[in-house]
Each structure stands twice: as C-alpha cells, then as structure tokens.
C-alpha cells in the first residue's frame, strides 16, 4: 500500500499544479503552458493505471479490499480533477474565443506566466531560489520546477536550480527580459 499512497500524493500534487497552469494558460493566453498541462495529464493517467494495477495485485495477495476501494475512489476523483484542468487548458489549445469578461481581465493584468529552461552557466544555474532573490529583484515567482521527470511544486527557497531545469514562473510582463537573461535564454 505504501507505493499506492506515494502515487496518490504525486497525483494530488500534479493535479493541483495542472489547475494552476491551466488557469494561467487561459489568463495569459500561453499555448506552451497549456501544452504542459496536456503532458501532465499523461503522467496522471500513468499514475492512475499504476495505482489500479497495484490495488488489484494487493487484493489478489489478500490485501485490505476496503482500503483498496478507498484508494481507487481517491485516484478516480483526482484523475477527474486533472481532466477538468485539461478542459480549461483546452480553451487555449483549440484557440477558442474567450468571453469578453475574461478578455477584459486579461488586458487589465500586467502579469505573465513563463516556462523557461535554465542554461548551463546562466545566472540561475547552481543557485538556490533564496539566493537568487528573484521575487524581490525582478518580481518573478517560481511556482514549479521540473527536473527530468520529477517535479517540485511550490518549490522551497532551498531548492538549488540546475542547468536543464524547467521553471514555471509568474510575474510582471516587464520582467520577461530579466527572466530570459537569468535563465541564459538571451545568450548565444
């Protein structure tokens, strides 16, 4: 059951991130962020399959059927939550015209959501989030970091960023050039 519990926690964390990214993709009309939601949905589906398989295997070996049922219901609920986040991001993926109220709120917002890859030797490479003082200096808040296949959601200040990490950050539109420079995107 321990593996099932760990996978449920991963599903919960990923689905929460998906919802945040989905709303951001619509608010900022950012296709790249919407595509990330779609990729995370694939990860949710794999975790759901793993959980289902592990529950059935556990029950076959005499495991607690009632605990298995509860875990399966939880996994199913989280999977539906993730599907809803994908539905939100799908608005951007399918270029659906937004309601005028949403458009107005977008025009009034000076925030953006970005997905950036940290380049080797860039300012962020090898620094903790705390040391960068990113929020204070350029106004960007890192909401998630992907390192290969693992994720840090709402990363701690002690997380050390590395080359090839993918960061998802939100902040003022005027900071776009700063975040590009800090991740090394502007270097040739």
Answer yes or no: is pLDDT of 105 > 70: no
Q: If we measure between CA atoms, which residue out of 34, 57, 47 comes closest to residue 8?
A: 47
What's the pLDDT at 52?
95
Of residues 97 and 122, the one with the higher pLDDT is 122
What's the pLDDT at 92?
93
Provide the pLDDT confidence category of residue 186 given band limits of 50, 70 and 90. confident
What's the pLDDT at 75?
96
Lowest average pLDDT, out of 3-12, 34-43, 94-103, goes to 94-103
The contacts found for 90-93 with CB under 8 angstroms, 24 or more apart, are 90/34, 91/26, 92/25, 92/26, 92/29, 92/30, 92/31, 92/33, 92/34, 93/31, 93/34, 93/35, 93/38
Answer yes or no: is pLDDT of 184 > 80: yes
Mean pLDDT of 118-139: 95
Q: Is the Cβ–Cβ distance between 21 and 168 less than 8 Å?
A: yes
What's the pLDDT at 108?
61
At 145-166, the pLDDT tens digits run: 999 988 888 899 999 999 999 9
Q: If we measure between CA atoms, which residue out of 119, 8, 20 comes closest to residue 67?
A: 8
Lowest average pLDDT, out of 32-36, 59-63, 103-107, goes to 103-107
* Domains annotated on the chain, with CATH: 2-100 (1.20.58.220), 110-183 (3.30.70.1450)
- What residue spans of 64-145 are helical by DSSP H? 65-93, 100-108, 129-132, 134-138
Answer yes or no: is pLDDT of 188 > 60: no
Sheet holding 166-172: strands in order across?
111-117, 166-172, 141-147, 150-153
Answer yes or no: is pLDDT of 12 > 80: yes
């Amino acid at each position: 059951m321990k593996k099932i519990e760990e996978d449920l926690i991963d599903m919960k964390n990923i689905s929460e991130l998906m919802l945040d990214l989905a709303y951001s993709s619509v608010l900022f009309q950012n296709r790249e962020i919407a595509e990330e939601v779609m990729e995370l949905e694939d990860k949710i589906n794999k975790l759901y399959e793993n959980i289902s398989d592990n529950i059935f295997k556990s029950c076959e070996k005499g495991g607690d059927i009632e605990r298995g049922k509860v875990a399966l219901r939880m996994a199913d609920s989280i999977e539906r939550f993730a599907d809803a986040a994908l539905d939100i991001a799908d608005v951007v993926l399918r270029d659906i015209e937004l309601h005028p109220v949403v458009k107005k709120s977008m025009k009034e917002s000076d925030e953006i959501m970005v997905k950036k890859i940290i380049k080797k030797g860039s300012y962020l490479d090898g620094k903790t989030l705390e040391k960068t003082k990113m929020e204070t200096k350029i106004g960007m808040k890192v909401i998630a970091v992907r390192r290969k296949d693992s994720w840090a959601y709402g990363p701690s200040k002690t997380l050390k960023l590395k080359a090839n990490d993918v960061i998802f950050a939100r902040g003022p539109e005027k900071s776009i050039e700063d975040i590009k420079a800090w991740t090394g995107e502007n270097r040739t």
